[in-house]
Amino acid sequence: MVRVTAECHTRPMTGSSHGFSRCTIVPPYLLVRLARVDDPRLAAAAEAARRSLMRDVPIRELRAAAHPTPSSSVHSGVRGGAAARVRGHVDRAVSDAGGLERLPGRLVRREGQPAGADLAVNEAWAGLGDTHSLFWNVFERDSIDDRGVSLEATVHYGRNYDNAFWDGERMVFGDGDGLVFNRFTASLTVIGHELTHGVTQFTANLTYEGQSGAINESLSDVFGSLVEQRSLGQSAAEAGWLIGEGLFTDQVQGVALRSLKAPGTAYNDDALGKDPQPADMTGYIETEDDNGGVHLNSGIPNRAFYLVATALGGNAWETAGQIWFDTLTSGTLGRTVDFAGFARATSRAAVTRHGAGSREHEAVIAGWTAVGLGGGLGTGSRPRSGTGPGTGVGRATVVPAPRPE
């Protein structure tokens, strides 16, 4: 039996107060389900899932090893020296692992070089650029650390590896098993999601467990979706709000790994089961698996953001995204913040930028109230009434986060 442990491991990095993490896009419960499939037609996919799960073992050992900070590594974005660097200039490097599990692999493209014939390399390259563009051109954040660190990626990692992950320094992409999962560079939301773990690492550095871990996951889903929406020029109303669209092959009854618009509806497949994410606090899942349900309960803040963004309309990255970015980078979030605390922080961010009772503040309150977390956010300019589950008023609907180990 495969024992699944945390899939986003964090510890202080050498010379830094921040942690590094190894955060995967595919949640462990989905791979476990696939690993247990007893269908000859999916035997290769089941074996690939088992191997993918077992790759967590050396990562657990890595927690006790020295690990350089991204800004001090040999892949630093300041290749020409601090004086030569232009703030906001993207610096990318993509390497090819060649089916091995050694990082970083062979460097195949760096900034200034033309595209080649490898589709995975080109997709990773474009995704790094689109993510950098969102954070710099919209939020004026200079790469994930706000100091211009190089954005690194490795493709073709492992044999039929069914995942992609952020390891504290780089994005790493598997090619999938070809039966259930396609190559992981195919989804721009995956790239944006994983790089946002890097932004969180250098800002709020949220503990990857329980509700703070689910907020960590949700922030990556939110900004991963915004990277794609901005790249495609989609308004909040036009966007699909899916994470990992295109990862499943046509053999799977599903459209993506997760849906911000309708958590719990992304897939419903005989082999993979049904998407288990709850959409509000009435469905909150108490579990010790998945690090206290970080990939499960993230559906709740995900839907809150979707509701805020669509209520405000226009481009989601311009207003709702700015409020969430302000919250993430405010310096006021505790590492173990729970859903209620994060909701209050977004409300404060909306007031700071737009004013109490503003349309934006009202949208934030309404979004959190709809998922059962409106208590303590104030009333904006309109009074509200009601108590108990479903109203978001009172403490009954707020489930405290599990305490970190």
> Tens of pLDDT along the chain (405 residues)?
333 333 454 444 333 344 445 688 999 899 999 999 999 999 999 999 999 988 754 543 332 333 333 333 334 444 444 446 799 999 999 999 999 999 999 999 999 999 999 999 999 999 999 999 999 999 999 999 999 999 999 999 999 999 999 988 899 999 999 999 999 999 999 999 999 999 999 999 999 999 999 999 999 999 999 999 999 999 999 999 999 999 999 999 999 999 999 999 999 999 999 999 999 999 999 999 999 999 999 999 999 999 999 999 999 999 999 999 999 999 999 999 999 999 999 999 999 999 999 999 999 999 999 999 998 887 654 433 333 333 332 322 333 333 233
Report how far residue 389's alpha carbon sits from residue 373's, in angstroms, rounded to the nearest whole number. Answer: 9
List active site positions: 194, 295
Model pTM score: 0.85
Rg of the Cα atoms in the chain: 20
Same fold, 11-202 and 224-370: no
Instruction: Name the β-bridge partners of 384.
Output: none
Taking the domains of the chain in order of start, what are their residue ranges? 11-202, 224-370
What is the CATH number that goes with domain 224-370?
1.10.390.10
Is domain 11-202 classified as CATH 3.10.170.10? Answer: yes
In the structure encoding, which two tokens stand for residue 244, read together?
A: 């990992």
Report how far residue 394's alpha carbon sits from residue 230's, in angstroms, rounded to the nearest whole number. Answer: 37
Report how far residue 285's alpha carbon sits from residue 261's, in angstroms, rounded to the nearest whole number. Answer: 19
